[in-house]
Chains A and B, each alone.
Chain A
Amino acid sequence: MKRPEVEAKMTDLLVDELGIDRDKINMGARFEEDLEVDSLGVVELLMALEDTFGVSIPDEEAESIGTVGQAVDVVMQKLEG
């Protein structure tokens, strides 16, 4: 999967699974500050990433995810790794 495709799927997932407004989402958007994703929402996000991309993201690695772009980075690493 190429990066633009992962980014597009990530955006759809944030809209469909977390109910975030599409126009607020960009790769620099911060989950907590910009998208108002709380601690429970972060767990939902991880579950959705795992289901959508077929990857497994341990909580330790998830801690490095602050922005939408960083979530894409983690997924890309998993897919390429």
Chain B
Amino acid sequence: MSRRVVVTGLGTVNPLGHDVDSFWSAALAGRSGVGRITAFDPSGMRATIAAEVPDFDPEQYIERKEARRLDRYDQFFWASTHQALADAGIHYEEDDPAALRAGVVVGSGIGGMISFQEGIDTMRQRGPDRVSPLAITQIISNMAAGLVSIRYHLYGPNSCVVTACAASANAIGDAAEIIKRNAADVMVAGGGEAPVCEFALAGFSQARALSTRNDDPAHASRPFDLDRDGFVMGEGAATLILEEREHALGRGAKIYAEVAGYGMSADGYHVTLPRPGGGGAARAMQNALDDAGIRPTGIDYINAHGTSTQANDSTETAAIKTVFGDYAHEVPVSSTKSMTGHLLGGAGALESLVCILAIRDGVVPPTINYETPDPACDLDYVPNEARAVAVKTAMTNSFGFGGHNVSLVFTAHS
């Protein structure tokens, strides 16, 4: 009998909240998490705004001695994973045999970018003998998976996906497949990013990817709006606990949703630009639907990649129309990046969490800052206000530089 995968725990730290409940109420209220950058003085940068996690205190989750050794990205993922495991009611002692069947897949676009920048600064300014012995462990993207396996005694499959802004969507899909092929019963799946530093901001700015609406931060991330001018960098993490269905039922776990479909494709076109017409994105969506065994009209909500760049939003719209046909104009599509900014590698996990909460509560969060329609973006983007919708099935899209396209389908558990 084929193994099914359900979601039994959620956690997040992001610009709208330090936990699932505060995030969700802010998202449904349509609040923007974007402001002028506080992590450093951004004067002189093309973009001076970001969606930062305000007042994050890692010592709420991590002993001080340990916390100071970690990159901010690792701290975020540690925190969201702590929350998710607690939510799922999962706890392994060091010698628990069940821990051998519990693993981790994390996704991040660039890993410890702040530590990378600091390490290079130190080396240039003070010499190689002053580079921290922790520099490498702070930088590498996979360390977040290693860290939570150490802290929470997760001794099963453990890996990391680095597919830019599709990374944590891949992490969830890959983790689900690990459970399906019976290599684990429980998987911690998700990802994060902590990119708010001069180097990352400069790099994305030079790629002309970022919004420069610096004088009006709260309205800068405006997916699908005619006047969109780029994405707003965000930070944070989200974690889902995935569990084999019978395993979850057997322990009487609360089940949020089922991971029903996972689809991937490559654009095979350009390093940053999506393939015109959205053929690659469309194939990822279709593959996810096929994997789930659901027809397009069976999808009740789409959480779009919706970055607020000119190219993504029109191309993704075209791709949705390719897959969904006339129904594309009926299904609600929203981009929560309008509020959270773009968590890069963490986005797919956070937006999966949004789909799952939409299923749980029968409400979909809005696309805020939607003011002026774009003829190239003509779907129902749930403008500016949350909407009650009976969501039994939801899809989320994540597309990464390099042409990585990922779609996931979640369904209400029955």
Which residues of A come within 8 Å of B, CB atoms?
18-21, 36, 40, 43-44, 47, 51
- State which of A21, A36, A44, A51 has its C-beta within 8 Å of the C-beta of B134: A44
Say whether B205 faces chain A, with CB atoms less than 8 Å apart.
no
Task: Add 4 more A-B contacts to A19-B64, A40-B134, A43-B133 (CB < 8 A).
Answer: A20-B65, A40-B69, A44-B132, A44-B133
How far, in whole Å, are A51 and B64 apart by their CA atoms in the complex? 22
CB-CB contacts of B111-135 with A at 8 A, as 1s and 0s? 0000000000000000001101110
In the assembled complex, B295 has its CB within 8 A of some CB on chain A: no
A18–B65 contact, CB under 8 A?
A: yes
Question: Does any Cβ of A come within 8 Å of B329's Cβ?
Answer: no
Question: Smallest distance from the beta carbon of A41 to chain B beta carbons, Å?
Answer: 8
- Interface residue? B68 (CB, 8 A): yes
Q: List 23 A-B contacts (CB under 8 A).
A: A18-B65, A19-B64, A19-B65, A19-B66, A19-B67, A19-B68, A19-B69, A20-B65, A21-B65, A36-B65, A40-B69, A40-B133, A40-B134, A40-B137, A43-B133, A44-B132, A44-B133, A44-B134, A47-B129, A47-B130, A47-B132, A47-B133, A51-B130
Using a Cβ cutoff of 8 Å, how many contacts connect chains A and B? Answer: 23
Where the two chains meet, the residues of B that have a C-beta atom closer than 8 Å to any C-beta of A are 64-69, 129-130, 132-134, 137
Write the nearest CB–CB distance from A46 to chain B, whole angstroms: 9
The complex places the Cα of A13 from the Cα of B133 at a distance, in Å, of 17
Q: Closest approach, in angstroms, between the C-beta of A33 and any C-beta of chain B?
A: 15
Nearest CB in chain A: distance from B74 CB, A? 15
User: A20 CA to B63 CA in the complex, in Å?
Assistant: 10
Going nearest first, the 5 A-B pairs with the smallest beta carbon separation are A19-B65, A43-B133, A40-B133, A19-B68, A19-B64
Whole-angstrom distance between the Cβ of B68 and the nearest chain A Cβ: 5
Query: Chain A: which residue is nearest B59 at the CB level?
Result: A19
> What separation, in Å, do the CA atoms of A16 and B132 have in the docked complex?
15
Give, as a whole number of angstroms, the nearest-CB distance from B159 to chain A.
Answer: 23
- The answer for the CA separation of A19 and B68 in the assembled complex, in Å, is 7
